[in-house]
Homo-oligomer: A and B are copies of this chain.
Amino acid sequence: MIKYPKGQQPMHPPVQGTQNRDIIYGSRGMTLEEQINLSNTYYLQQKRAVIYKKPTPVQVVKVQYPKRSAARIVEAYYRQPSTTDYNGVYQGHYLDFEAKETNNKTRFPLANIPIHQRQHMQACYEQGGVVFLMVAFKRFKEIYLMPYEALADLFSDSQVKSIPYDYIQNRGILCPQGLYPPVDYLKAVDTYLDQP
């Protein structure tokens, strides 16, 4: 018989870590991106939505073609993405969003969202897309969905360098977190869509 250390009993379905939130989101230290990617896999399996993170754009300069093996890129550079990181389709809605986390406890610095991403968000919003920012306050283990409507005025005012935590609490929608999906942000999208 195998003796498991305390809190490490095997579970069905098998998972790493336990159901204790602190262990999952503290020690285990999943990044927001990892949480979203796992949630997207879950949504896809459950046929709830089809949402992907876009690949990081890479400028390929030099490729070698070795015999009988895959093409090998030997010189390339990261490029600035011109769009947000995530998009997809959910019940007929076009979803488009960017995800960022911060260690700050009082505000979210807007320097995190470069100008071309803001322009992209605006363009998608104008086409009728559901556009938002996901902000994780790591110290509070909170993840908010901030609808584009609540960001537009801030984006257009070049004096605004950050979003206060209070504002995000007021205008954002808190995303439920759990084991699987790690962040059930479609619940927050539902809340957003149900608003009059």
Residues of chain A touching chain B, judged by Cβ–Cβ distance below 8 Å, are 44, 47, 49-50, 52, 54-58, 60, 70-78, 81-83, 87-94, 96, 120, 123-124, 126-129
Q: Which residues of B contact A44 (CB under 8 A)?
A: 123
Number of copies: 2
Q: Which residues of B contact A72 (CB under 8 A)?
A: 75-77
Q: Are B50 and A123 in contact (CB under 8 A)?
A: yes
A55 CB contact (under 8 Å) in B54, B74, B123, B127: B54
Q: Which residues of B contact A75 (CB under 8 A)?
A: 72-74
Q: Which residues of B contact A55 (CB under 8 A)?
A: 54-58, 81
Q: Are B127 and A92 in contact (CB under 8 A)?
A: yes
Q: Are B50 and A124 in contact (CB under 8 A)?
A: yes
